């Protein structure tokens, strides 16, 4: 986790959410972002993208966020990349379970588009310091 946060791999199955994430992280946050619509897309493209951070929606068809994270941890190029979950669930026990999976943070939906980049950067900085 050395260096600065520049490249973020994101996965969300909802087109509107992908657009919001792109606006928040690319245009406002000035990050280089690769956004996929499925876990399979992320796992295929992620290693070549060489992300500094991964952000996965928790609830997705076929492969949910925790499953994508588990598979990413099996790939040498993604095994140690920090991860954040996006979720509409705000129940403490679920968030605690997500943290136990090794994510550096959980961001609840709906998120503030103007504030998402700052929230992501704060989670990153807290994890690397």
What pLDDT band is residue 16 in, cutting at 50, 70 and 90? very high
- Does CATH number 3.30.750.24 belong to domain 7-128? no
Q: pLDDT tens digit string along 62-112?
A: 999 999 999 999 999 999 999 999 988 666 777 788 888 889 999 988 899
Q: pLDDT tens digit string along 34-45?
A: 999 999 999 999
Domain layout of the chain by residue ranges: 7-128
pTM here? 0.93
pLDDT at 117 over 80: yes
Q: Is beta strand 105-108 parallel, antiparallel or unpaired with respect to 83-87? A: parallel
Residues contacting residue 16 through CB under 8 Å, at least 6 positions apart = none
């Amino acid at each position: 986790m050395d260096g600065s946060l520049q490249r973020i791999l994101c996965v969300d199955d909802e087109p509107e959410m992908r657009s919001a994430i792109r606006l928040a992280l690319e245009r406002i946050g000035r990050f280089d972002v690769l956004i996929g619509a499925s876990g399979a897309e992320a796992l295929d493209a992620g290693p070549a993208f060489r992300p500094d951070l991964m952000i996965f929606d928790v609830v997705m068809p076929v492969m949910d966020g925790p499953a994508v994270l588990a598979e990413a941890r099996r790939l040498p190029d993604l095994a140690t990349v920090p991860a954040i979950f996006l979720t509409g669930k705000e129940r403490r026990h679920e968030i605690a379970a997500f943290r136990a999976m090794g994510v550096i943070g959980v961001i609840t939906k709906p998120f503030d588009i103007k504030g998402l980049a700052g929230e992501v950067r704060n989670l990153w900085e807290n994890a690397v310091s």
